[in-house]
Amino acid sequence: MQDNHVALVTGANQGIGLQIAKELAAKNFTVMVGSRDFVRGVEAAKTIDGDARALQLDVTDRASIAAAARRIREELGRLDVLVNNAAISHTGRRPGLTVEEYARSTLASNVSLDELRAVFETNVFGVVAVFQAMLPLLREAPAARIVNVSSGAGSLTMNADPAFPWRSIFGPAYPASKTALNAMTLAMAIELESTGIKVNAASPGFTRTNLNNYSGTETVEEGAREAVRLALLGPDGPTGTFSHANLGRLPW
């Protein structure tokens, strides 16, 4: 077993995931850069100062997940932090389509069930599958941390408020997948609260990434900040929370 703490960040070949990986590497973590496309993961790892290693990981492929877990155990012998960042907002949004236009095409009354299943497969089932595969390693760590990268778009409380400015884009695909992810976060936290493993959800805010065709208003550095903070929580830190770097605790 190596001395450095080890972190796995899924979907780390670009955007917020890559920034999280960079910041954890700067904190002397060995970072496994999870990427569905291994070549892209290799290229991303080259941009990180520190010990960063590309890891082929497709969160919708059980064989890929199992192979990733085996490699971490055999190569490093430990896992201290799991950041579930990999997510998709759509499978077929036309180029140039705005977030608002896409939202109108994925209302509960007209969303494609194939689209719905695909988004949930990555954003919800993929997170649970990776969690289950990595949990044996995390249980062996002295103070493991799990961070699920969620979104304020998934908050039922905020979207139920007619005054919430983003209420009109709440729908059954991406936003509801983040609602479901929040539920999984709480389920994980409740199960593990007696173990010392802390599980929290981070909202990055409306960050400029490929997920929204770079229409966001916050930088990837701003978007990564809360996930990194939660990954580095000390023994007195919370578990079972949903938060944003500037807004603090968010309602579920």
Residues marked active site are found at 174, 178
Residue 167 neighbours by CB distance under 10 Å: 14
What would the two tokens of residue 182 be? 């929040």
Residue 101: Cβ-neighbour burial (10 angstroms; 0-12, 13-18, 19+): exposed
Number of helices (H) and strands (E) in the chain: give both, helices first: 9, 8
Place of tokens 């997948």: 177
DSSP string, 208-246: -SGGGTT--SB-HHHHHHHHHHHHT--TT--SS-EEETT
What would the two tokens of residue 117 be? 């299943």
Q: Say which DSSP state 68 is in.
A: H
> Side by side, which strands form the sheet with 6-9?
52-56, 30-35, 6-9, 81-84, 145-149, 198-203, 242-244, 248-249
Among 78, 85, 204, 201, smallest CA distance to 144 is for 78
